[in-house]
Structure formats: C-alpha cells, structure tokens
Amino acid sequence: MTAFYLMRHGQADFGLADERRLRGAVRELVPLTELGRQQVHARIEELRALRPECMLSSPLTRSLQSAAIVSLGLGQPLTVEFDLYEWIPDLTFTLDLQEASRAAFREAQSLGGEWPPGEQRDWEPYSSVRRRVGAVLERYLHLQRVLVVCHSVVTIAMGGPILQPAEFWAYDR
C-alpha cells in the first residue's frame, strides 16, 4: 500500500496579487513570504523521518518553491506534476481579489464542494479535483511513500483536513 503525504505549501504572498490587481490564473503565481519559507524549513526533519521515495509538486510557484526547499533539505529529486495544481475558485478567470476567492471557497464548503443538482457555479467542484489528483497519484502506486507538495483545497477535496501552511496529512490510497 502506498502512503501519500500531502503537504500544503508555506504561506504565500497573496497580498502581492491584490496589490497588483492581478486577474485570473496569474494570481496563482505569487511566491512564498519569508514566513512561508521559514515554515517549510521548520518541517524538514519531520519530513525526513517519513523517508519518502519520491517527491511531487504542483507547478504553482508557492508549492514549487516549498518543494524546492524540501528537495534540497532532503536531498530528494523533485518531479513536477501539472495536475496537482490548486482548486480553481474562478472558472471565468476574472477574479482580481483574494476576498473573491475566499467567498467562492466558503460557498463551495457550504455545498460540500459540489454544485447543486442541475446548477453550475464559477468554481471547480471537488469531484473534479479528486479525479485529476487521483489520476496523478495512481501513477505512483508502485512506491511505498510519496511526498506531495500541493494546496489546502486539494487536501480537502481528497478527504483531508484544512491544513495550515507547511502542514502535511497522510492520505492512504
């Protein structure tokens, strides 16, 4: 059985996206804050104890930057998997403020992550996240321990808790 350890990236600088009024997908390219880098560094020994055979990352900057810190700390190569990207709070790709993303998240959570029958919303249903992330994880079932640096709503969609920055959760597939 494969143990997947899903780790949320460190604290991201979404203030930068708001300050620059970035719209749509480009908002997802913000880096970690200094605190975010420290949060990830603080987890290195815990992650080393997991003895991951493989390390995967979302392609988004905050996860990739977190994974690079861990990769260097563990001496573990890193594989970027495109479909590990974060849940999409705005399928119109027009949002320009973090508060709009938070509102979409609150609505998704209130609806159990799925659109009501016969309706559509502007956010990605959690079942869509599960399908794409599950397809990635499926390719690594031949390993025993895999570290996956990703995003909070990805872990929620996979049935896990809301993780704080740089926390991780064991997902047994």
Domains in the chain: ranges and CATH: 3-172 (3.40.50.1240)
DSSP of 85-142: PPP-S-TTS---SHHHHHHHHHHHHHTTTSPPTT---SS--HHHHHHHHHHHHHTTTT
pTM over 0.75: yes
pLDDT at 22: 81
Q: What is the pLDDT of residues 81-119, one digit of tens each?
A: 999 999 999 898 887 777 888 899 999 999 999 999 999
Residue closest to 5 by CA, chosen among 163, 128, 131: 163
pLDDT at 98: 77
Looking at the DSSP bridge assignments, the partners of residue 75 are none
pLDDT at 66: 98
Helix or strand run (H / E) with residue 57: strand 54-57
pLDDT at 17: 83
Distance between CA atoms of residues 73 and 69, nearest Å = 6
